Amino acid sequence: MTLITALIILGVLALIFGGILGYSAIKFKVDADPLVEQIDAILPQTQCGQCGYPGCKPYAEAIANGDEINKCPPGGEATIKQLADLMGVEPKPLDGDHGVEDIKKVAYIREAECIGCTKCIQACPVDAIIGASKQMHTVIIDECTGCDLCVAPCPVDCIDMLPVKETPKTWQWDLAHSPGEQLGDIPIKQVNS
């Protein structure tokens, strides 16, 4: 008798809690961004293709399907760390096969040498180069992601990737950029130039 009572009580409890769980699963459902969107939001959107995929979105899809997270050189360590946090895996060093982390650069066309072939325009993943056939081309600096994709197609090699110039406005308080000794945990204080 006791056994049966116990079974019944446990059964009823199981039903009740099952019901509550089921209800809350529907009621409090978290509408998370689909994983691909979240990954895509972390990627730097240079669309450079160094990862081996034709753009950031395809790479995001590949990561969601289990590809490695360390194939994005423009994003570098910071992106890998964020991806690792999102995917719940250990951060890895950047995969050297896909390139190395570099300072930010943008493309400049030496306009006098441009022959107007439009090859770079076709290569640019973000439509940041304007120009027309047989006309000089130019880069919209603000839109350029520094992906490098326009350099190779240029038949006359007139595209330079130049580092983005630091201005007082974009300066990030790196007093240590001035050469000199460095003290403490952060590179500041007595910096002799």
Partner 1 sequence: MIDANNVVQQITKGQLFDFAGGVHPPQQKSLSNTTPINTIAEPERLYIPVKQHIGVQGSIRVCIGQNVSKGEPLTTSGNPFAVPVHASTSGMVVEITEHPSAHPSGLPETTIIIEPDGHAQWQLMPVITDYFSEDKVTLLERICQAGISGLGGAGFPTHIKTNPQKPVECLIINGIECEPYISSDDRIMREHAWQIKQGINILRHIINPKQIIIAVEDNKPEAMDAIKTACIDDTSITIANVPTKYPAGGERQLIQVLTGEEVPHDGLPIDIGCLMYNVGTCYAIADAVLHGKALVQRVVTLTGQALKAPQNVWALLGTPIHHLLTVGDYDPQRQRSQKVIMGGPMMGFTVHNDLVPVVKITNCLLVPDREELPDIQDERPCIRCGLCADACPAGLLPQQLFWHSKAKEYDKAQAYNLDACIECGACAYVCPSEIPLVHYYRKAKSDIKHQAAEKEKSEKARERFETRQARLLADKQAREEKHRLAAEARKKAMEQKGGSDAKDKIAAALARAKAKRAAAQTNKDAEE
Partner 2 sequence: MQFSLSSSPHNRVRRDTSQVMRMVCYACIPGILAQTWFFGWGTIIQISLAIMTAIVTEATILELRKKDVSRGIRDYSAILTALLLGICLPPLAPWWLIVIGTFFSIAIVKQLYGGLGFNMFNPAMVGYVVLLISFPISMSAWLPVQSMAQTPYDFIDAFTVITTGYSQSGYSLVQLQLGVDGITQATPLDAVRTGLLSGMTYSETLSSPIFSSGWGWSTGWSAVSIAYLLGGIFLLQQRIINWHMPISMLAGVVVTAGLLNMIAPDQTGSIPFHLFSGAVIFGAFFIVTDPVSGSTTDKGRLIFGALIGFWTVIIRTYGGYPDAVAFAVIIMNIAVPLIDYYTQPRTYGHQS
Catalog residues that contact partner 1 under the rule CB under 8 A.
40, 43-47, 55-57, 125-128, 143, 145, 166-168, 170-173, 175, 178, 183-186, 188-190, 192-193
Smallest distance from partner 2 to CB 168, Å:
15
Would you say 129 and 150 are in contact if contact means Cβ atoms under 8 Å apart?
yes
| C-beta closer to partner 2: residue 18 or 180 | 180
Among 161, 166, 48, residue whose Cα is nearest residue 107: 161
10 Å CB burial of residue 89 (0-12, 13-18, 19+) is exposed
Closest CA to 38 of 93, 85, 91, 92: 85
**Token reading at 130:** 């304007």
175 binding partner 2? (CB under 8 A): yes
Total chain residues near partner 2 (CB under 8 A): 10
Tokens of 190: 């007595």
| C-beta closer to partner 2: residue 122 or 190 | 190
- Whole-number Å distance between alpha carbons of 82 and 165: 27
Q: Find which of partner 1, partner 2, none residue 125 binds, CB within 5 to 8 Å per kind.
A: partner 1
- Quote the least distance from Cβ 179 to partner 2, whole Å: 10
Residue 110 engages partner 2 in binding (rule: CB under 8 A): no
Among 24, 122, 135, 190, the residue binding partner 2 under the rule CB under 8 A is 190
